[in-house]
């Protein structure tokens, strides 16, 4: 077991570590989505995208006009600076994905340790009830499952989560939250 799993920490500190990892992962995923959206805009800037057809269609009215300008996509003739952004954004996305993968791995380790301790102490069922109450979930049996996350690069890492026993994928999170 690695240091990241916190085998030597008290359970409350281990749970705090898990929450911190999940919060950081949430922030990283937010930045990854922002970088991907910015990459999409940079690609749009260097391609010659036609404006939306402005002909009125029966029952639909006229399409919004001047979308490139209103969305902030420069005209293709002014897009040279955007080409330099493409490589930088790809690099940022790669770095964010690598960091997210390390966070997922650390969160998985901490989640496994939390589950191991709760099970060893006979508190797993009580903890699951507490989590359900805090979340407002339906009462019902829960089970620990291992789920493979679907990363864009196909490097799914197993993630331990608490999942409803009702269905194989119901409530299964990607980030090891309990």
- Please determine, for residue 176, whether its predicted confidence score (pLDDT) is greater than 80: no
Q: Which residues in 83-132 belong to E strands, given as ranges? A: none
Query: What's the domain range around 128?
Result: 9-164
pLDDT at site 141: 53
Q: Residue 169: inside a domain, yes or no? A: no
> Within a 10 A sphere around the Cβ of 40, how many other Cβ atoms?
12
Assigned domain for 172 exists: no
Residue 165: per-residue pLDDT: 43
Least-confidence region, from 38-42, 71-75, 142-146:
142-146
Please report whether residue 94 resides in a domain.
yes
175 has pLDDT over 70: no
How far, CA to CA in Å, does 52 sit from each of 42, 64, 67, 149?
19, 7, 7, 37
Identify whether 147 is part of a domain: yes
Residues with Cβ within 8 Å of residue 171, at least 6 apart in sequence: 137, 161, 162, 163, 164
CB-based contacts of 96: which residues, under 8 Å, 6+ apart? 28, 31, 32, 35
pLDDT computed for residue 25 by the predictor:
96
pLDDT digits 0-9 by tens, 43-59: 888 887 788 877 777 88
Inside any domain, residue 62: yes
The answer to which of 5-14, 59-68, 117-126 has the lowest mean pLDDT is: 117-126
Residue with the bigger pLDDT between 57 and 42: it is 42
Distance CA 87, CA 93 (A): 10
pLDDT at 164 over 50: no
- Looking at residue 140, its pLDDT comes to 53
- What's the mean pLDDT in 146-163? 47
- The closest of 121, 144, 141 to 132, measured between CA atoms, is 141
Which of 101, 163, 93, 172 is closest to 132 using CA atoms? Answer: 163
| Strand duo 158-164 + 142-148: pairing | antiparallel
Give me the number of domains the chain comprises.
Answer: 1
Residues 128-150 have a mean pLDDT of: 63
The sign one gets for the Cα dihedral 175, 22, 36, 155 is negative
Predicted TM-score (pTM) of the model is 0.60
Across the range 56-80, mean pLDDT stands at 81
Question: Are the CB atoms for 162 and 144 separated by under 8 Å?
Answer: yes
What pLDDT, on the 0 to 100 scale, is given for residue 77? 77
Highest mean pLDDT among 21-25, 68-72, 119-123, 162-166: 21-25
Residue 23 lies in a domain: yes
């Amino acid at each position: 077991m690695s240091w990241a799993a916190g085998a030597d920490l008290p359970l409350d500190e281990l749970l705090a570590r898990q929450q911190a990892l999940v919060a950081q992962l949430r922030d990283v995923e937010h930045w990854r989505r922002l970088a991907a959206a910015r990459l999409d805009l940079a690609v749009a800037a260097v391609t010659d995208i036609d404006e939306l057809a402005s002909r009125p269609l029966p029952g639909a009215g006229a399409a919004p006009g001047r979308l490139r300008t209103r969305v902030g996509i420069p005209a293709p003739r002014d897009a040279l600076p955007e080409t330099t952004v493409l490589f930088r954004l790809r690099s940022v996305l790669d770095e964010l994905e690598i960091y997210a993968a390390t966070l997922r791995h650390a969160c998985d380790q901490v989640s496994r340790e939390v589950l191991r301790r709760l099970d060893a102490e006979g508190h797993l069922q009580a903890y699951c009830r507490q989590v359900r109450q805090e979340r407002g979930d339906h009462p019902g049996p829960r089970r620990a499952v291992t789920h493979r996350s679907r990363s864009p690069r196909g490097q799914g890492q197993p993630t331990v989560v608490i999942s409803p026993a009702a269905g194989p994928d119901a409530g299964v999170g990607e980030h090891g939250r309990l």
